[in-house]
Amino acid sequence: DIQMTQSPSSLSASVGDTVTITCRASQSIRGYLNWYQQKQGKAPKLLIYSASKLQGGVPSRFSGSGSGTDYTLSISSLHPEDLGTYYCQQAWSGPVTFGPGTRVDI
Amino acid sequence: QVQLQESGPGLVKPSETLSLTCTVSGGSMTNYYWSWIRQPPGKGLEWIGYIYYNGNTNSNPSLKSRVTISVDTSKNQLSLILTSVTAADTAVYYCARHPSAAEVFDSWGQGTLVTVSS
């Protein structure tokens, strides 16, 4: 299975800050990388797919980049409603696997 | 807009069988893949398996021997059966939709908590 890691595991930021979360795969996943936001007690919500494509209805302050094994999710101008846990997920090979999550506190 | 709703018993005894249903409304199941994903309390996400609307399935090898996923497009439902459960199977179980076999989960149910305990 492809192992996914994320850093940091948690972070605290202020409204208006730019936040960057990193996701690394144990082997190349060729851009098949998706990002989700999960708020407490809720289902995950798709933010970014195929590494850099913004899901419909998601604010443009969210952006993704990366290739090969290394990917980033950036949130520019952090809003209070952006608190939650962010997960990366690979869909390239073998069983789908998720990163362990990054908790974002405002 | 498609909506997914999981249902089933919230408590299952160890060694018994977990059975859940996901009802899809506001859209067709045709031409989509449908996955089950679970999340133990306070932990991360684990993909269980998927079924295509035509009945083709694929499961996580770690659970494959205990998992059965089925679909009834006439009822707009998919089902999950997990046998021989243990406390490690305690989790919130989600159903989710993806437009292709490359799993991009674009719609999720709200999830249902299943506790395995005697």
pLDDT above 80 for B102: no
Please give the backbone phi and psi of residue B88, each rounded to the nearest 5 degrees, phi first.
-65, -15
Cβ <8 Å between A43 and B62: no
Partners of A89 on chain B (C-beta within 8 Å) are 45, 103, 105
Range 29-58 of A in CB contact (< 8 A) with B: 32, 34, 36, 42-46, 49-50, 55
Q: Where are the beta strands (DSSP E) in chain A?
A: 4-7, 10-12, 19-25, 33-38, 45-49, 53-54, 62-67, 70-75, 84-90, 97-98, 102-105
Separation in Å, CA of A84 to nearest CA in chain B? 13
Give, for all 106 residues of chain A, the pLDDT tens digit.
Answer: 999 999 999 999 999 999 999 999 999 999 999 999 999 999 999 999 999 999 999 999 999 999 999 999 999 999 999 999 999 999 999 899 999 999 999 8
The pLDDT value given to residue B103? 87
Q: Are strands B112-116 and B11-12 parallel, antiparallel or unpaired?
A: parallel
Instruction: Encode A20-36: b = buried (16+ Cβ within 10 Å), e = exposed.
Output: ebbbbbeeebebbbbbb
**What does the pLDDT look like over B41-75, one tens digit per residue?**
999 999 999 999 999 999 999 999 999 999 999 99
Nearest to A96 among B47, B106, B111 (CB): B47
Q: Where are the beta strands (DSSP E) in chain B?
A: 3-7, 11-12, 18-25, 33-39, 46-52, 57-59, 67-72, 77-82, 91-98, 107-108, 112-116
What chain A residue is nearest to B102 in terms of C-alpha separation? A91
Helix (H/G/I), strand (E/B), else coil: A4: strand
Q: A30, A39, A59: which is closest to A47 by C-alpha?
A: A59
Q: A47, A33, A31, A32: which is closest to A84 by C-alpha?
A: A47
